[in-house]
Amino acid sequence: MSDITSSERVLALDDRQLGAAADAAGTGDAARQPIRPAVAQAAQLARAAEGRARDRQHVKGKLTARERLDLLLDTGSFEEVGRFCGGDIQGGRAGAAVITGFGEVYGRKVAVYAQDFSVRGGTLGVAEGRKICRLMDQALSLQVPIVAIVDSGGARIQEGVAALSEYGHIFRRTCEASGFVPQVSLILGPCAGGAVYCPALTDLIVMTRENSNMFVTGPDVIRASTGESISMDDLGGGAVHNTVSGVAHYLGADEADAIDYVRTVLAYLPSNALCEPPTYAYMATRADREVAARLATVVPDNDRQPYDVLDVIRCVVDYGEFVQVHELFAPNAVTGFACIDGRPVGIVANQPNVLAGSLDVDASEKIARFVRLCDAFNLPVVTLVDTPGYKPGAEQEHAGIIRRGAKVIYAYANAQVPLVTVILRKAFGGAYIVMGSKAIGADLNYAWPSSQIAVLGATGAVNIIHRKDLQKAKDAGHDVEQVRAEYAAEYERTTVNANLSMETGQIDAMIDPEQTREVLEDALKLLAGKRRERRTPKHHGNQPL
């Protein structure tokens, strides 16, 4: 972290500019002297404000807004906009409860705003709302990502409806920016009431284990309304929103970890929807071939035996580096960013270690939103399939598996980025169709030799197709399990194997596991020239929500 704060840098620049203006007027040093006391007063005011912020934040185990910006942005790259806007220099108030400006993350420009809890509890009033809206307007003009650091007590009660209206202005701009520039929200303090919808409308939400809270109605209101007693963490803490509600996409161990995650994610995304994602130098080595060869042993021969799909992912991506999104939510599905041959991609996979990789309502929404994110920002989607189907049960039906499962269909069917799918083991029923099948719009589909593709698994199918035969065998005193096994073996030979899908064109090629990385590299190179096309003149579709 730099010894010079961002406010001191800006004030020093203002001082030089004022001096240069006086020299240009031909008045020299004498003309500059009356200005210097005002500049010095402002600089002292800024230093005192940061000192108070440190005193108030550090005792809570929190960083100041400016310290957070120093961690987020490349050293020395922050250019503040409107430092004293909303303040009163003569009255001793340094500025509004939000810091706005531009900086760089890995050398690429981003717009940032950080709410300052040390100033009026970080509450949002008219001055703060206007600063944020102005920054967002500039970000859209410059076509750069927007990062929000949230630490606020909500709307400033003293300003009434005028403060609430500013949230409306921010909501509208967030919606305008959605899908055009990446938007990331860092929740590093309280975020309550209507304020929660500012981050809720953005692409990614990052929270921390401590001090990070989001809720529409707080514990006191709930206690008064329903009599229910609950803590802030249990109601809307980082752990709850990462594991239960799915509102947040990453749980940082602390503020530094959360901020580092944001920097990492931005490295995979383009600055806007009109740009291609950044590419990185990558040179294949002998180690890559050794890692690829391990794929032959990752997936068990027994199709009922679980395994960790992350082992597969790490064998096919550059350096084994995989940045998960929604890691703690719906763990029966895995989503995240990686690079293949230096090109960023989105990875979607079923996780056989959890619920055998079946799709449920939460996994469906997790996959759908991630595919939409990748499609918005030009990241190819690689789908790794191993699923027995949708999770059965009345609970899932009543939770809306029809409506919420349809979101996966909508996401894949409308995606126009390169879509490459590999079936690792099982792909049964409707889950086979929605997980990036050729029928739903995938460009290239591959399967491992041991993969099984069918409406149902062999055992389930036999129980339906041959139920009368099984009953006859039982009545005749035959070994029903042996008869069932014989029927299942015949079903697998004639129906389940992937050769049938190859013959009908649903699978483009059968590949050995150790070929997977090489095949993905070639497929992505082939599809690199894929371009979007507008197939109908419609305004937009009516996505199931």
Quick: pLDDT tens for 205-224: 999 999 999 999 999 889 99
What's the pLDDT score for residue 36? 64
HSE of 137 in the Cβ direction (CA atoms, 13 Å)? 8
Q: Can you name the residues that pair with 428 across neighbouring β-strands?
A: 454
pLDDT > 90? residue 443: yes
Q: What is the per-residue pLDDT across 165-199, written as a single tens digit (0 to 9) for each?
A: 999 999 999 999 999 999 999 999 999 988 999 99
455, two tokens:
């409406």
Using a 10 angstrom Cβ sphere, with 0-12 exposed, 13-18 middle and 19 or more buried, the burial of residue 256 is middle
What's the pLDDT score for residue 482? 83
* Residue percentage of the chain with pLDDT more than 70: 88
Q: What is the DSSP letter of 440?
A: T
Tell me the C-alpha distance between 96 and 119, whole Å: 7
Q: Which among 43, 163, 158 has a CA at the least distance from the CA of 98?
A: 163
Q: What is the DSSP letter of 359?
A: B
Kindly list the strands in the beta sheet with 204-208, ordered across the sheet, starting from the edge strand earlier in the chain.
79-81, 98-105, 108-115, 146-150, 183-187, 204-208, 250-252
Tell me the C-alpha distance between 441 and 447, whole Å: 17
Rg (CA), the chain: 28
What's the pLDDT score for residue 11? 46
Tell me the C-alpha distance between 21 and 227, whole Å: 64
What's the pLDDT score for residue 328? 98
Q: What share of the chain is helix, strand, coil (3-state, %, to 5)?
A: 50, 15, 35
Side chain identity, residue 340:
I
| Element holding 206 (H helix, E strand) | strand 204-208
Tell me the C-alpha distance between 514 and 499, whole Å: 19
Q: What is the per-residue pLDDT across 134-159, written as a single tens digit (0 to 9) for each?
A: 999 999 999 999 999 999 988 898 99
More confident position, 21 or 320: 320
CA distances, 255 to each of 151, 190, 311 (Å): 12, 14, 29
Tell me the C-alpha distance between 432 and 409, whole Å: 11
Ranges 191-195, 202-206, 257-261: which has the least confidence: 191-195
Q: Which among 13, 9, 37, 33 has a CA at the least distance from the CA of 23?
A: 33
CA distances, 118 to each of 128, 163, 407, 502 (Å): 14, 19, 42, 63
Side chain identity, residue 289:
R
Tell me the C-alpha distance between 273 and 271, whole Å: 7
What DSSP letter does each residue of 271-319 carry, written as one string? SSTTSPPP-------HHHHHHHHTHHHHS-SSTTS---HHHHHHHHSGG
Contact by Cβ (8 Å): 430, 390: yes
Catalytically active residues are 193-194, 430-431
Length of the chain: 545
394, two tokens:
């009345």
Using a 10 angstrom Cβ sphere, with 0-12 exposed, 13-18 middle and 19 or more buried, the burial of residue 244 is exposed
What's the pLDDT score for residue 484? 80
Contact by Cβ (8 Å): 381, 417: yes
Contact by Cβ (8 Å): 312, 338: no
Tell me the C-alpha distance between 186 and 464, whole Å: 51
What's the pLDDT score for residue 17? 42
Q: What angle do CA 331, 352, 248 make, to 5 degrees?
A: 10
Contact by Cβ (8 Å): 164, 129: no
What's the pLDDT score for residue 474? 80
Tell me the C-alpha distance between 185 and 289, whole Å: 39
CA distances, 536 to each of 279, 371, 408, 410 (Å): 32, 21, 21, 16
Mean pLDDT of 525-532: 94
What's the pLDDT score for residue 83? 86
pLDDT > 90? residue 111: yes
What's the pLDDT score for residue 7? 45
* Residue percentage of the chain with pLDDT more than 90: 67
**Which spans in 25-159 are helix H?**
28-32, 36-58, 65-72, 126-142
More confident position, 414 or 45: 414
Q: Can you name the residues that pair with 102 across neighbouring β-strands?
A: 79, 111
Confidence of residue 30 (pLDDT cuts 50, 70, 90): very low
Which domains are assigned to the chain? 47-268 (3.90.226.10), 286-457+496-527 (3.90.226.10)
Q: Which among 329, 325, 405, 328 has a CA at the least distance from the CA of 361?
A: 405
Ranges 182-186, 430-434, 484-488: which has the least confidence: 484-488
Q: What angle do CA 332, 333, 334 make, to 5 degrees?
A: 125
Q: What is the DSSP letter of 496?
A: I
Contact by Cβ (8 Å): 230, 240: no
How far does Cα 49 stand from its chain's mean position? 34
Please tell me which of 45-49, 331-335, 389-393 the model is most confident about, judged by mean pLDDT. Answer: 331-335
Tracing tokens 């919606």 back to the chain, one arrives at 175
Confidence of residue 452 (pLDDT cuts 50, 70, 90): confident
Contact by Cβ (8 Å): 385, 432: yes
What's the pLDDT score for residue 39? 66
The 3-state DSSP class for residue 511 equals coil
What mean pLDDT value characterizes the chain? 88
What DSSP letter does each residue of 381-426 carry, written as one string? EEEEEEE--BPPSHHHHHTTHHHHHHHHHHHHHH--S-EEEEEEEE
Confidence of residue 488 (pLDDT cuts 50, 70, 90): confident
Mean pLDDT of 70-80: 97
Tell me the C-alpha distance between 343 and 387, whole Å: 27
Tell me the C-alpha distance between 115 and 96, whole Å: 9
